[in-house]
Structure 1
Amino acid sequence: MSQATESDVREDGQIESVSGPVVTATDLDAKMNDVVYVGHEGLMGEVIEIEGNITTIQVYEETSAVSPGEPVESTGAPLSVDLGPGMLDAIYDGVQRPLDVLEEKMGSAFLDRGVDAPGIDLEKTWEFNPEVSEGDEVGPNDVVGIVPETPSIDHKVMVPPDYEGGDVVDVKSGNYTVEDTIVELDNGEEIKMRQEWPVRSQRPADEKQTPDTPLVSGQRILDGLFPLAKGGTAAIPGPFGSGKTVTQHQLAKWADADIVVYVGCGERGNEMTEVIEDFPELEDPTTGNALMDRTCLIANTSNMPVAARESCVYTGITIAEYFRDMGYDVALMADSTSRWAEAMREISSRLEEMPGEEGYPAYLAARLSEFYERAGYFQNINGTEGSVSVIGAVSPPGGDFSEPVTQNTLRIVKTFWALDADLAERRHFPAINWNESYSLYRDQLDPWFEDNVAADWADQRQWAIDTLDEEDELQEIVQLVGKDALPEDQQLTLEVARYLREAWLQQDAFHDVDTYCEPEKTYAILGAIKTFNDEAFEALEAGVPVEEITAVDAISQLNRIGVQEEWEEYVAELEDDIAEQIRGLY
Structure 2
Amino acid sequence: MQTAKIKSVDGPVVVGRNMSDYKIREMVLVGEQKLIGEVISIEGDLGTIQVYEETEGLKREEDIISTGAPLSVKLGPGMITNIFDGIQRPLETIKARHGSFMPEGIGLISLDEEKLWDVKISVHVGDYLKQGEIFATVPETDIITHKIMVPPGVSGEVVEVAEDGKYNIEKVLLKIKDEIGNIHEVKMYQNWPVRIPRPVSERLPIEKLLVTGQRVFDVFFPIAKGGTTAIPGGFGTGKTMTQHQIAKYCDADIIIYIGCGERGNEMTEVLEDFPKLIDPNTGRALMDRTILIANTSNMPVAAREASIYTGVTMAEYFRDMGYHVALMGDSTSRWAEALREISGRLEEMPAEEGYPAYLPSRIAGFYERAGYVKTLGGDEGSVTLIGAVSPAGGDFSEPVTENTKRFVNVFLALDKELAYSRHYPAINWLNSYSGYIPLLKNYYDNRLDGDLPDLRIKYLDLLHKESKLNEIVMLVGEDVLPDDERLVLEICRVIKVGFLQQNAFNEIDTFVPLEKQFEMLKTIDNLYEKGKEAIKLKVPISIIRNSELYGKVINMKYDIENDNLKEFVSLNNEINDFYDELISKYGDVE
Using the size of structure 1 for normalisation, the TM-score is 0.96
CA distance in 2, matches of 1:551, 1:179: 70
Q: Give the match for residue 6 of structure 1.
A: none
Moved more, 565-574 or 179-188: 565-574
Which SS does the other structure have where 2:155 is aligned? coil
Are 2:62 and 1:70 aligned? yes
Moved more, 242-251 or 574-583: 574-583
Residues 17-41 of structure 1, C-alpha deviations (whole Å, 9 max, x = no match)? 1111101111234211111111222
Tell me if structure 2 keeps the 8 A contact 1:552–1:581.
no
Which amino acid is 1:511 matched to? N
Find the partner of 1:155 among 146, 158, 172.
Answer: 146
Find the partner of 1:402 among 377, 397, 401.
Answer: 397
Alignment of 1:52-201 (within 5 A): 52-106=44-98, 108-116=99-107, 118-186=109-177, 187-201=182-196
Find the partner of 2:485 among 475, 483, 490.
Answer: 490
Which amino acid is 1:143 matched to? I
CA distance in 2, matches of 1:15, 1:552: 75
Alignment of 1:338-349 (within 5 A): 338-349=333-344
Which amino acid is 1:484 matched to? D
Q: Give the match for residue 264 of structure 2.
A: 269
Alignment of 1:10-409 (within 5 A): 12-28=3-19, 29-106=21-98, 108-116=99-107, 118-186=109-177, 187-409=182-404
Which SS does the other structure have where 1:390 is aligned? strand
CA deviation after TM superposition for structure 1 residue 552, in Å: 4.2
Which SS does the other structure have where 2:575 is aligned? helix
Q: Give the match for residue 567 of structure 2.
A: 570
CA distance in 1, matches of 2:423, 2:414: 11
Q: How many residues align?
A: 576
Which amino acid is 2:464 matched to? D
Tell me if structure 1 keeps the 8 A contact 2:293–2:311.
yes
CA deviation after TM superposition for structure 1 residue 11, in Å: 8.6
CA distance in 1, matches of 2:2, 2:510: 55
Residues 214-240 of structure 1, C-alpha deviations (whole Å, 9 max, x = no match)? 111111000111111110000000000
CA distance in 2, matches of 1:502, 1:347: 45
Residues 40-74 of structure 1, C-alpha deviations (whole Å, 9 max, x = no match)? 22211111111111111101111122221222222
Which amino acid is 2:546 matched to? A
Residues 301-346 of structure 1, C-alpha deviations (whole Å, 9 max, x = no match)? 0110100000000000000000000011110110110000000000
CA deviation after TM superposition for structure 1 residue 456, in Å: 1.7
Tell me if structure 1 keeps the 8 A contact 2:126–2:157.
no
CA distance in 1, matches of 2:44, 2:154: 34
Please list every run of at least 4 consecutive aligned residues from structure 1 whose deviation after the TM superposition is greater than 6 angstroms. Answer: none
Tell me if structure 2 keeps the 8 A contact 1:207–1:379.
yes
What do you get for the CA RMSD once the two structures are aligned? Answer: 1.3
Tell me if structure 2 keeps the 8 A contact 1:11–1:73.
no
Tell me if structure 2 keeps the 8 A contact 1:555–1:578.
no
Which amino acid is 1:73 matched to? I
Q: Give the match for residue 516 of structure 2.
A: 521
CA deviation after TM superposition for structure 1 residue 352, in Å: 0.6
Residues 184-235 of structure 1, C-alpha deviations (whole Å, 9 max, x = no match)? 1234111110110000000001111211001111110001111111100000
CA distance in 2, matches of 1:511, 1:301: 30
Tell me if structure 2 keeps the 8 A contact 1:102–1:116.
no
Q: Give the match for residue 584 of structure 1.
A: 581
CA distance in 2, matches of 1:304, 1:582: 62
Q: Percent identity?
A: 51
Tell me if structure 2 keeps the 8 A contact 1:101–1:117.
no
Are 2:550 and 1:555 aligned? yes
Which amino acid is 2:169 matched to? V
Which amino acid is 1:575 matched to? N
Which SS does the other structure have where 2:445 is aligned? helix
CA deviation after TM superposition for structure 1 residue 455, in Å: 2.4
Residues 163-182 of structure 1, C-alpha deviations (whole Å, 9 max, x = no match)? 23333443431111110111
Which amino acid is 1:104 matched to? A
Tell me if structure 2 keeps the 8 A contact 1:153–1:294.
yes
Specify every segment of 5 or more residues in structure 2 that has no aligned partner in the other structure, as ranges.
586-590
Tell me if structure 2 keeps the 8 A contact 1:11–1:74.
no
